[in-house]
Amino acid sequence: MQLPIEQVIVHRDGARIRRVGKAKVENGQVVLSGLPLMLHEASVRVSSESTTVLSVSLELDVEGIDRGPAPEAMRAVRQLEFQVALAEAELDAVQEQLALLNEVTPAEPSDEASVPTAERLLAWGQVDEVFAGWMTEVLTSHPRIVQNLARIREALEIARNDASQVSGADAWRHWVPTRRAIVTVEGTGEVDIEIEYRVLGACWTPAYALHVNPDFRTGRLVLRALVAQATGEDWGQVALALSTAPMVQQVDAPTLKARRLGRAQPISRAAWRPLPSDLESLFPIELEPGAVPRERGGRDRVEALDASWSDDTVAALDTAVPRSKRRARLAPPTPPPAMERSSRASSVETPQSIAFSAPSMDEEVMVMGGSTPPPAAAPRKKQGARRRPEPTPSPTASTDSSVIPKALDYGSLRIADWDAAPGQRGRLTRQSLTDQALAAGVPAAAVRHVEQARWTLERLSKEVAVLPVPNHHSRPTDRTGADFRYQMEGRADIPADGQWHSVSLVSEALELRVQYRLIAREDPRVFRSLSATMVSALPLLPGPVDVYVGGRLELTTPWQGSGQDSPIELGLGPEDALRVARNVRYREESTGLFSGGRRVHTEVELTVASSLPRAISVEVFDRIPIAGDDSVAVSLESAEPTASPWTGEPGGPILRGGLRQEVHIPPGGESKATLHWHMSVGSKYEVDGGERRGN
DSSP helix/strand/coil, 59: strand
Q: Give the separation between CA 167 and CA 164, rounded to whole angstroms.
A: 8
Instruction: Determine, yes or no, domain membership for 628.
Output: yes
Note whether residue 626 is domain-resident: yes
Q: Exposed/middle/buried for 211, CB within 10 Å: 0-12, 13-18, 19+?
A: middle
Asked whether residue 607 is assigned to any structural domain, the reply reads yes
In a domain, 363, yes or no: no
Q: d(Cα 151, Cα 284) in Å, to the nearest integer? A: 73
User: Does 328 fall in a domain?
Assistant: no
CB atoms within 10 A of CB 182: 13
- Pairing state of beta strands 218-229 and 501-518? antiparallel
* CA nearest neighbour of 486 among 12, 2, 4: 12
- SS3 state at 329: helix
Task: Respond yes or no on whether the N-terminal peptide bond of residue 613 is cis (omega within 30° of 0).
Answer: no
* Centroid of chain to Cα 245: 13
Ordered strands of the 670-681 beta sheet: 578-590, 598-610, 670-681, 633-640
Number of domains making up the chain: 2
Identify whether the C-beta of residue 5 lies closer than 8 Å to the C-beta of residue 239.
Answer: no
Output Rg (C-alpha) for the chain, integer angstroms. Answer: 41
Strand partners, 559: 543
Region at 426 (left for phi over 0; alpha for psi -120 to 50; beta for the rest): left
Helix (H, G, I), strand (E, B) or coil at 295: coil
Residue 54 has phi, psi (to 5 degrees) of -90, -45
E strand or H helix that includes residue 431: none
Which of 425, 447, 427 has its CA nearest to residue 437?
447
Whole-angstrom Cα distance, residue 464 to residue 398? Answer: 16
| 558 occurs within a structural domain | no
Q: Is the residue at 546 inside a domain?
A: no
How far are the Cα atoms of 455, 612, 650 from residue 567, in angstroms, in the given order?
47, 27, 14
- From CA 287, how far away is CA 305, in angstroms rounded? 10
Give the range of the structural domain holding residue 161, as residue numbers without chain letter.
72-106+123-165
- The string of DSSP letters for 225-261 reads EEEEE-SSS-EEEEEEEEESS-S----PPP-PPP--S
- pLDDT tens, residue by residue, 252-308: 677 777 777 777 777 766 656 777 777 777 776 655 555 544 443 333 333 333 343
pLDDT attached to residue 381: 39
Closest listed residue to residue 235, CA positions, set 603, 501, 575, 580 = 501
The secondary element (H helix, E strand) that includes residue 354 is none
pLDDT of residue 315: 46
**How many Cβ atoms are within 10 Å of 650's Cβ, its own excluded?**
5
Cα separation, 230 vs 134, in Å, equals 55
In whole angstroms, what is the distance from residue 436 CA to residue 71 CA? 29
Q: Which of 462, 409, 466 is nearest to 432 (CA)?
A: 409
Domain boundary pick from 114, 146, 165? 165
At residue 20, the pLDDT reads: 94
Helix (H) or strand (E) holding 413: strand 413-415
For the chain, the residue count is 695
Q: Are strands 644-645 and 658-665 parallel, antiparallel or unpaired?
A: antiparallel
Parts of the chain with a pLDDT under 70: 63-71, 105-116, 127, 130, 165-175, 250-252, 268-272, 284-409, 478-481, 592-596, 683, 685-695
What is the per-residue pLDDT across 104-136, written as a single tens digit (0 to 9) for each?
766 666 665 566 677 777 777 776 776 777 778
Half-sphere exposure of 605 (CA within 13 A, CB side): 4
